[in-house]
């Protein structure tokens, strides 16, 4: 069975606004609410479409300077690691720099995602503390 996902916004502001059982209904809702993106089609209960974005490893210091951005191939890690760890895994190296692996559109998007994580950690006084 196929489902049609309605998304709106971009980068940090992106959110799924609805999921429809038909493309026709998804297009109707997109037009009614003025959503920015066309509906995306997914096969229900399938892992073949995940991840939909490339994977990047990013290292960043506390001031927000990016010291490393590296594209990673998802098939190097296996599906379990891709699905369970990448978006949640982060840590701190010996220099107390944040490192994180994320799904992103490109390197710039990956840096933005990690920078937002950095800001949340600092705001919550959690810099240097994993979870």
Per-residue model confidence (pLDDT) at position 44: 81
Tens digit of pLDDT for each residue in 15-62? 888 999 999 999 999 999 988 788 988 888 776 545 567 788 899 999
Which residue stretches of 11-106 are H helix?
23-33, 78-84
Using an 8 Å Cβ cutoff, are 37 and 17 in contact? no
pLDDT of 9: 73
Q: What distance, in Å, lies between the first and last C-alpha atoms of the chain? A: 37
DSSP state of 112: H
Residues 65-81 have a mean pLDDT of: 69
Nearest by Cα to 54 from 118, 131, 113: 113
Q: Considering only 5-19, 29-43, 110-124, which range has the smallest mean pLDDT?
A: 5-19
| Rounded distance between C-alpha atoms, residue 25 and residue 104, angstroms | 28
Query: 70-79, 84-93, 95-104 — which one is most confidently predicted on average?
Result: 95-104
Domain definitions of the chain by residue range = 2-43, 55-123
Q: Establish whether the linkage from the previous residue to 51 is cis, with ω within 30° of 0.
A: yes
């Amino acid at each position: 069975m196929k489902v049609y996902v309605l998304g709106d916004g971009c980068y940090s502001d992106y959110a799924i606004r609805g999921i429809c059982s038909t493309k026709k209904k998804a297009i109707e809702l997109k037009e009614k609410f003025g959503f920015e993106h066309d509906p995306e089609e997914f096969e229900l209960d399938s892992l073949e479409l995940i991840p939909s974005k490339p994977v990047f490893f990013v290292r960043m210091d506390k001031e927000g300077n990016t010291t490393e951005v590296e594209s990673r191939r998802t098939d190097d890690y296996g599906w379990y690691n891709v699905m369970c760890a990448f978006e949640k895994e982060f840590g701190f190296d010996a220099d107390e720099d944040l490192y994180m692996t994320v799904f992103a559109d490109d390197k710039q998007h990956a840096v933005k995602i990690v920078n937002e994580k950095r800001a949340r950690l600092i705001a919550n006084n959690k810099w240097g503390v994993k979870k």
